[in-house]
Amino acid sequence: MFLIPCPFCGQRNEEEFVSGGEARRRPDDPASLDDAAWADHLFNRDNTKGVVREWWWHARGCRLWFMVERDTLNQAISPAEKPP
Amino acid sequence: MRNALSYHERWSEAWRSPEPKPGYDVVIIGGGGHGLATAYHLARDHGIGNVAVLEKGWLGGGNTGRNTVTVRSNYLRDPSIRFFERSRRLYEDLSATLNFNVMFSRRGQIDLIQTWAKWRDVRRRSLSMALVDAEYTIITPGEIVRRVPLVELDPKARLPILGGAWHPGAGIARHDAVAWGYARAADAAGVDIIQNCEVTGIRRAGGRVTGVETTRGTIMAPRISVAVAGHASVVAAMAGLRLPIETVPLQAFVSAPLKPVLDVVLNCPALHVYLAQTDKGELIIGGGADGYTSYAQRGSIHVIEQSVAALIDLMPRLGRVAMLRQWAGMIDLAWDTSPIISTTPVGGLFVDVGWGSGGFKAIPASGEAFAQLIATGEPPELIRPFGLDRFLRGRPVLETAGASNRE
Ligand SMILES: Cc1cc2nc3c(=O)[nH]c(=O)nc-3n(C[C@H](O)[C@H](O)[C@H](O)COP(=O)(O)OP(=O)(O)OC[C@H]3O[C@@H](n4cnc5c(N)ncnc54)[C@H](O)[C@@H]3O)c2cc1C
Ligand SMILES: [Zn+2]
């Protein structure tokens, strides 16, 4: 059990949130990708042991999305970023 | 017997603890059930005995020693049913095969049906399973209570029990014994099992693997096989490979030992809880996975709380049973929640990963098939659908989305 800093509501219990997975960059020019590059973008993950930049959704709160950096070894979380 | 009378101090070791050699024909990373079974089959079926199994901790100290030991084949997709039914059947003779008592107890599993959607799903599975002679049939609520008197039917429940699905082939086995049995058999066939040996890097030249860096020195090998549940992405990254895998915590807990109260595996997919009673008398209980990626080897208490609430709903008489221990393992879930047993774009690198919450039951069949893949370079028919290329080709094997993979 850990707290997640929602940039809109402050520190709230993990149970109120849904993880959105690691932040990934959309390909700049999707039309130029071949199948392998698409499959890599859609399915593969870094799945880092350590600090990840990731999405969370405050599903049982303000229902907004935001990003944090979290250490997957101990759940230490950085202050949240509002979406751009 | 003689050793039992001398304070158990004179037993010989069941396997050697050799120093690593400079090189092997095959190096297997990960000394869980999968790595050990693969080594055993390489030696037994393919005459490849110059094999090392490298384990960073101790044998079976990963998920093989942390799981809830259910062996079953009631999956959704045909390739999964075929594969897991093969594995389940290998479990029936495993004690004799390995000459080591793995305590497989074929006691059957009941899946509770609490929605009409689940009813249709069970009908579908039962027909698919009939194709490989695996039984999965619908039973009435009355029959459920007859077999499991602990269950109380509450017609006013939010999800009343409509029926059950009976899977007579399912069972449980002793987790450690499976690892130890394969370890002893592999060792006897010449395999070097090297504990306290963490792989820290994978050497490559010209697009092929050449060896591994470890905490006990460099070990060369033209073929490297990865069987590290909970660390697949970390080890794959050592070879520059990204996998369609996320690592999440999965928890379980056991009660104090009780007199016999439950002689089947009881699974409640709608409320995310399942349990069985071990031969020691403990109830071993599991539920859904935690909802975020983690390598912390622990989960959050509200997930356990949810399983306990469901348990008390179904079996109010368990309300006063003391719980003894609780723990978590890190499970690797592939994008489609099916395993990946495959060659990779890196020459000589093979993976047997993504077993999620269901790889204990898979140990015998996976060891057999993965060994064939490593030995011949060609996947046997049984595991062809589980190749890494399925994502590229748009042919995932979608099992049910629930992370606990039990529905
Ligand atoms: C709580 C829980 C309940 C489960 N219940 C069931 C169930 O009821 N039925 C079922 O079929 N499955 C179940 N599973 C899943 C099952 O436990 C796993 O799929 C299975 O044990 C995987 O076996 P393995 O040999 O691949 O991995 P493991 O047993 O985890 O072995 C992998 C080994 O690799 C080692 N390793 C990792 N990194 C390195 C490195 N860099 N160098 C060297 N060694 C390394 C680890 O130390 C570990 O010992 C459950 C899992 C959990 C966590
Ligand atoms: Zn919020």
| B81-119: pLDDT as tens digits | 999 999 999 999 999 999 999 999 999 999 999 999 999
What does the pLDDT look like over A8-58, one tens digit per residue? 999 999 999 999 999 998 999 999 999 999 999 999 999 999 999 999 999
Assigned CATH class of B106-169+246-332: alpha beta
Cα separation, B29 vs B374, whole angstroms:
13
What count of CB pairs under 8 Å joins A to B? Answer: 65
Nearest-Cα distance to chain A for B229, in Å, is 13
For a pocket test of ligand 1, which of B67, B213, B338 has the largest count of ligand atoms closer than 8 A to its C-beta? B67
Nearest-Cα distance to chain A for B353, in Å, is 14
Average pLDDT over residues B225-237: 98
For residue B7, is pLDDT > 90?
Answer: no
For residue B401, is pLDDT > 50?
Answer: no
For residue B204, is pLDDT > 60?
Answer: yes
Contacts of B8 (CB under 8 A, 6+ apart): none
Rounded-to-10 torsion of CA A58, A63, A69, A71: 20
Q: How confident is the model at residue B12 (pLDDT cuts 50, 70, 90)?
A: confident
Per the document, the length of chain A is 84
- A4: domain CATH number? 3.30.2270.10
Element (H, E) at A27: none
Residue A31 lies in a domain: no
Q: How confident is the model at residue A79 (pLDDT cuts 50, 70, 90)?
A: confident
Give distance in angstroms: CA of B247 to centre of ligand 1.
Answer: 12
- Picking from A3, A14, A15, A49 by the largest number of B CB atoms within 10 A of its own CB, the best residue to mutate is A49
For residue B208, is pLDDT > 80?
Answer: yes
What does the pLDDT look like over B371-384, one tens digit per residue? 999 999 999 999 99
Q: What's the complex ipTM?
A: 0.96
For residue B312, is pLDDT > 80?
Answer: yes
Q: How confident is the model at residue B2 (pLDDT cuts 50, 70, 90)?
A: low
For residue B205, is pLDDT > 50?
Answer: yes
| Cβ-defined contact of B293 to A18 (cutoff 8 Å) | no
Element (H, E) at A4: strand A3-6
**Residues of chain B neighbouring A18 (CB-CB closer than 8 A):** 291
Q: How confident is the model at residue B6 (pLDDT cuts 50, 70, 90)?
A: confident
Residue A82 lies in a domain: yes
Q: Is the CB of B39 under 6 A from ligand 1?
A: no
The structural domain count of chain A equals 1
- Average pLDDT, whole number, for chain B? 95
Cα separation, B151 vs B111, whole angstroms:
13
Residue A32 lies in a domain: no
Question: By CA distance, what is A35's nearest residue in B?
Answer: B392
Cα separation, B401 vs B333, whole angstroms:
10
C-alpha B84: how far from chain center: 11
What does the pLDDT look like over B34-68, one tens digit per residue? 999 999 999 999 999 999 999 999 999 999 999 99
8 A C-beta contact, residue A80 and residue A5: yes
Interface contact B300, partner A, CB < 8 A: yes
Residue A38 lies in a domain: no
Q: Is the CB of B67 under 6 A from ligand 1?
A: yes
Residue A41 lies in a domain: no
User: Percentage of residues in chain B with pLDDT exceeding 70?
Assistant: 97
| Cβ-defined contact of B296 to A47 (cutoff 8 Å) | no
Helix axes B116-130, B78-92, angle to 10 degrees: 70
Instruction: Provide the pLDDT for residue B400.
Output: 76
Q: Is the CB of B331 under 6 A from ligand 1?
A: yes
- pTM above 0.90? yes
Question: By CA distance, what is B233's nearest residue in A?
Answer: A47
Average pLDDT over residues B273-287: 96
User: What domain range is A2 assigned to?
Assistant: 1-26+49-84
